[in-house]
Chains A and B, each alone.
Chain A
Amino acid sequence: MHISNFTERPYIGVPEDEIIMNDSFFGVSNKFMDPKIAAELHNRYFDEKLFMEEVGFDGVMLNEHHGTPFCMGSVMNVEAAILARITKKMKIALMGNPLPVADPLRLAEELAEIDMISRGRLISGWVRGAGSEQLANNINPAHNRERFNEAHDFIQQAWTKDGPWRYEGNHYHYRHVNPWAKPYDGVPECWIPGLVSPETVVWTAQQKYTYLALGTFLDASVELWNLYADNAAEAGWQAGPECFGYLQRVFVADTEEIAQEIGKAWLHGGGQSKFARPEWMFPPGYNTKAANQRLARIFMDPEHNAIMPGTDAAGGNIHVEEARRRTMETYEPLQELGQIMVGTPKTVLPRIRNIMETLRPGVFVIFQIEGPVSHEMSMRSIELLGKEVLPQMREWAKELDLPGPDEVKPGSRKLPANGIRDAVVNLSSVAAQ
């Protein structure tokens, strides 16, 4: 099993009321961004990642968002390049580069350089980018899927085909493709992060990539795993744990009380659900027709149309305290639903075991505590994970036979002789949850 650590690397310093008043992290004015504070945070986050390597994580995972204090990784390849040099063993997983908003040739070069500098420790992931990324980069959302597919296919060629050659595509045109940068040891390992889109799962299976579920509910994840495995079986191969990754938020501290206190930081500003307003998450043309139908229903809902819970119907006065109270009301239910795990190593481990047994992932990403939490507290949390959680997870991974994609190549397992695929999940564990 590959165990990685992830945070959004948020900018800490925007008054929370500003985020609440905006009903979204995306769109908060960058007048609240102080580069001196950001400099300290960037360096702090690198220190924390170095410590993750020291305590035994197999990798770190980065992501990229634009125009938001939610995540300072506007150009995560810059962070990845630094990590490539300052870390020694850890893999660097990029989940993922938003293909439609990038220049694919330059991206192929950047990633190859990172892979070379790290001597082959890059795990490259691809995403369509949240809707807000299309707005922030001014990339036509109506062409998002076309650009994703074309850029993906182009980069595979740029990494493998001897140049120089000419490329005339639909959205991209290059008269001289001859990058003087190639991945260290062939096309890097690839994971594809996803939430619930079945199209993404099917595409990931077709590419023989590892699918990384970003904290999807267990029952929904079971369906996605089965969809992947069915598609693999149709193509003639057996999916195994190496094909699946799971990201889980795990906020640990020395005592239950401290953990419960720091866990609240994750709900700062409204938490993940306030990443961006629906009209920015799903700009026109970004989604399928089915998704447009869902969006239309959201726009019909007076609560959403009125900007936010706690807002009056005219969308005017934002009741900050009311919004904050409503957000905090979700803290316990989120724990009960398993969306976040908060506690000591001893109390979170059985819940982690349940995920490992049920979903049988070969990749486990721990989403570490973040937000307005001190560096010392973050470091202690990393230490506890490394010393008291990871060793047990590794033992269980052996017992449950959960190889990661660096141990068994996705797509390399054969179907059973009878042609009927083996199960990829263990539903008896769901019942025990």
Chain B
Amino acid sequence: MANTSTKWKEETVSIDGSELSIVRGGEGKPIVIFHGELGDPGRLGWQSDLASSRELIFVRHPGFGISPNIKWLKSIRDLAGLYAQLLRQMGLEGADVIGFSLGGWIAAEMAAANDSIFGKMVLVAPAGIKPPEGEIRDLFVDPPIKYVAASVNDVGKTPEFDNLYGGATTPEQIELLVDAQAGTANLAWQPYMFNPSLPHLLKGVNGLQTTVIWGREDAIIPLSAGTAYEAAIASAKLVVFDDCGHYPEVEQREAFVDQINSSLA
């Protein structure tokens, strides 16, 4: 059920001498959320839907335009290590997690290093594994707004498309997208958006209940990578949304929220 009156609160958490920007809202058992390669997409309907029964904690990655850059961070695994510290510091070890795209890769790296760091894990079209078929769309050869447009299967059938990234209609909003591209370049330039060792390390994940959600028409990371994820994590289940691209949370909000409620019940 939509809860449009959710109060979202911004705060900063100090870690290793840097300030991380966090957004929290909702009530209930916490879910930690890692955004994708284009930065925090802003507050959207699916979040309000979940916030009626869960507390959502959004972590804004350093160097993506809001949280300041941390100079020594050079890889997704570096960031995964930092976030493990962060969860301990915030008393969130064992919380559930949802990771979107690049954020899904971060969660997977954390789980590969320590499979008890999360309660349950949902990965939404995560990067991190080289797709056995097709390739991950290059974020760095187009203006970011074109990448956003390619992310959904049908712009016309995506009611909240205009709200993604605040609508990306002002120079400041576009600038945040450009900043996020730079943050992604810093961490995932090469190999582009995957870690060759990750599928091997994920074999060590034991019993972490994992749902991998994928849009069948995902034009950013092809579905074949979802199959590879399901094969890599013994306790993972792949759920495929038809007529859906890279953003099931806005393309099929209701089904997405139902799936999260079921996966993280």
User: Which A residues lie at the B interface, using CB under 8 A?
Assistant: 135, 138, 140-143, 278-280, 283-285, 289, 292-293, 295-297, 299-300, 305
Residue numbers in B under 8 Å from A285 (CB-CB): 181-183, 185-186
Q: Is B8 an interface residue (CB 8 A)?
A: no
Q: Which of B142, B171, B183, B184 has the most CB of A within 10 A?
A: B171
Size bin of chain B's contact surface: 20 to 34
Given the complex of chains A and B, what is the CA–CA distance between A292 and B180 in angstroms? Answer: 11
Contact A292–B186 (Cβ < 8 Å): no
Contact B184–A299 (Cβ < 8 Å): no
Given the complex of chains A and B, what is the CA–CA distance between A284 and B178 in angstroms? Answer: 6
CB nearest neighbor in A for B174: A296
Residue numbers in B under 8 Å from A283 (CB-CB): 140, 185
Q: Which of A141, A295, A297, A299 has the most CB of B within 10 A?
A: A299
- Chain B 228-241, CB-CB to A under 8 Å as 1, else 0, gives 00000000000000
Cβ-defined partner of B141 (8 Å) among A279, A299, A305: A279
Q: Which of B172, B174, B183 has the most CB of A within 10 A?
A: B174
Residue numbers in B under 8 Å from A293 (CB-CB): 171, 175
A-B interface contact total, Cβ < 8 Å: 63
Residue numbers in A under 8 Å from B183 (CB-CB): 142, 285
Residue numbers in B under 8 Å from A292 (CB-CB): 175, 178-179, 182
User: Which B residues lie at the A interface, using CB under 8 A?
Assistant: 139-145, 170-172, 174-175, 177-179, 181-186, 189-190
Given the complex of chains A and B, what is the CA–CA distance between A58 and B174 in angstroms? Answer: 48
12 interchain pairs, CB-CB under 8 A: A135-B141, A138-B189, A140-B190, A141-B182, A142-B185, A142-B189, A279-B141, A279-B143, A284-B182, A285-B186, A299-B145, A305-B143
Contact B145–A305 (Cβ < 8 Å): yes
Residue numbers in A under 8 Å from B171 (CB-CB): 293, 296-297, 300
Contact B143–A299 (Cβ < 8 Å): yes
Contact B182–A142 (Cβ < 8 Å): yes
Contact A284–B174 (Cβ < 8 Å): no
Cβ-defined partner of A140 (8 Å) among B142, B177, B179, B185: B185
Residue numbers in B under 8 Å from A141 (CB-CB): 140, 182, 185, 189
Cβ distance B64 to chain A, nearest Cβ, rounded Å:
11
Residue numbers in A under 8 Å from B177 (CB-CB): 296
Given the complex of chains A and B, what is the CA–CA distance between A292 and B173 in angstroms? Answer: 12
Cβ-defined partner of B186 (8 Å) among A135, A138, A140, A297: A140
Given the complex of chains A and B, what is the CA–CA distance between A185 and B129 in angstroms? Answer: 52
Residue numbers in B under 8 Å from A143 (CB-CB): 186
Given the complex of chains A and B, what is the CA–CA distance between A138 and B171 in angstroms? Answer: 28
Residue numbers in A under 8 Å from B145 (CB-CB): 299, 305
Cβ distance A296 to chain B, nearest Cβ, rounded Å:
4
Cβ distance A428 to chain B, nearest Cβ, rounded Å:
40
Given A140-B189, A279-B141, A292-B179, A300 contacting B184 (CB threshold 8 A): no
Closest 5 CB pairs of A and B: A284-B181, A285-B182, A296-B175, A142-B186, A296-B174
Contact B186–A299 (Cβ < 8 Å): no
Residue numbers in A under 8 Å from B190 (CB-CB): 138, 140
Residue numbers in B under 8 Å from A296 (CB-CB): 171-172, 174-175, 177-178
Cβ-defined partner of B142 (8 Å) among A279, A289, A300: A279
Given A299-B145, A305-B143, A305-B145, A284 contacting B185 (CB threshold 8 A): yes
Contact A284–B184 (Cβ < 8 Å): yes
Contact A300–B174 (Cβ < 8 Å): yes
Given contacts A299-B174, A299-B178, A305-B145, 20 further A-B pairs with CB under 8 A are A135-B140, A138-B190, A140-B185, A140-B186, A140-B189, A141-B189, A142-B182, A142-B189, A143-B186, A284-B181, A284-B185, A292-B175, A292-B182, A293-B171, A295-B178, A296-B175, A296-B177, A296-B178, A300-B174, A305-B143
